[in-house]
């Protein structure tokens, strides 16, 4: 598949949602027509994820990872890539090189089901800085919501920094319910009920709320 010459693939929701099959792949077009492949994260992505951390700006690390740090530990990389794809689901968006010999990870979306709460999960989406505003997060969120639905997830919990006034305002306008944050001082948690992904497509404001909430949700791996 040549990124320069291939026609954009339709972002069809008729494709199977990710249910855990390691062979699952979907091709999606970004806003400029660039094609990305969305697939499950595997242990083989460990070093690519390490490289991706190094490409994030300090601001991205601060707001999307809540002080996790720019250099991930080996234990953290293992946790982020060796997932069961049931209670801890991780999918990534990749770009293939023109010669089809290599791929570059440009974004990851994941959710972690909360212990003792079957239908609620914390989620996060992170995109490398040079791919912002091209639609990568939108593509990843759509597939993450579909994967959540088939696993019975009905609510996403967002932990945002207390000083992130913009995201707090978005969540509160969307009717997200404030709950007790588990990460300690400096963060505020909200629960947001997720609807059908097709409905989100028809209501850009709702879809943007979900996208924005996912981008700033704290991952449970901080513990």
Q: List the domains of the chain with CATH numbers.
A: 26-222 (3.40.630.30)
pLDDT of residue 203: 45
Q: What is the pLDDT of residues 191-201, one digit of tens each?
A: 888 765 554 45
SS3 193: strand
Residues of the chain with confidence (pLDDT) below 50: 1-11, 66-67, 199-200, 202-206, 215, 218-220
Model pLDDT, residue 90:
94
**Given CA atoms 139, 194, 65, 59 in this order, what sign does their dihedral have?**
positive
pLDDT digits (tens, 9 = 90+) for 155-173: 888 777 788 787 788 777 7
175: left (phi over 0), alpha (psi -120 to 50) or beta: left
Look at residue 8 in the predicted model and tell me its pLDDT. 36
pLDDT for 26 equals 95
pTM: 0.78
Q: Is 123 buried (19+), middle (13-18) or exposed (0-12) by CB count in 10 A?
A: buried
């Amino acid at each position: 598949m040549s990124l320069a010459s291939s026609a954009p693939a339709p972002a069809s929701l008729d494709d199977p949602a990710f249910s855990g099959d390691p062979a699952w792949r979907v091709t999606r077009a970004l806003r400029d027509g660039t094609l990305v492949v969305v697939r499950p994260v595997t242990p083989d992505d460990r070093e690519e994820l390490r490289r991706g951390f190094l490409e994030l700006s300090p601001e991205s690390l601060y707001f999307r990872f809540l002080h996790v740090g720019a250099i991930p530990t080996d234990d953290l990389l293992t946790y982020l890539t060796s997932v069961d794809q049931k209670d801890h689901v991780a999918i990534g968006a990749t770009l293939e090189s023109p010669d089809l010999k290599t791929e570059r990870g440009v974004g990851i979306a994941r959710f972690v089901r909360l212990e003792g709460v079957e239908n609620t999960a914390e989620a996060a989406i992170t995109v490398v800085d040079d791919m912002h505003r091209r639609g990568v997060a939108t593509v990843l969120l759509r597939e993450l919501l579909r994967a959540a639905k088939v696993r019975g997830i009905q609510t996403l919990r967002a932990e945002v920094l207390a000083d992130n006034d913009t995201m707090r305002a978005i969540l509160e306008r969307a009717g997200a319910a404030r709950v007790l944050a588990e990460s300690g001082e400096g963060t505020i948690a909200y629960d947001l009920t997720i609807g059908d992904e097709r409905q989100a497509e028809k209501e850009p404001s709702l879809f943007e709320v979900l996208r924005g909430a996912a981008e700033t949700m704290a991952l449970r791996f901080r513990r």
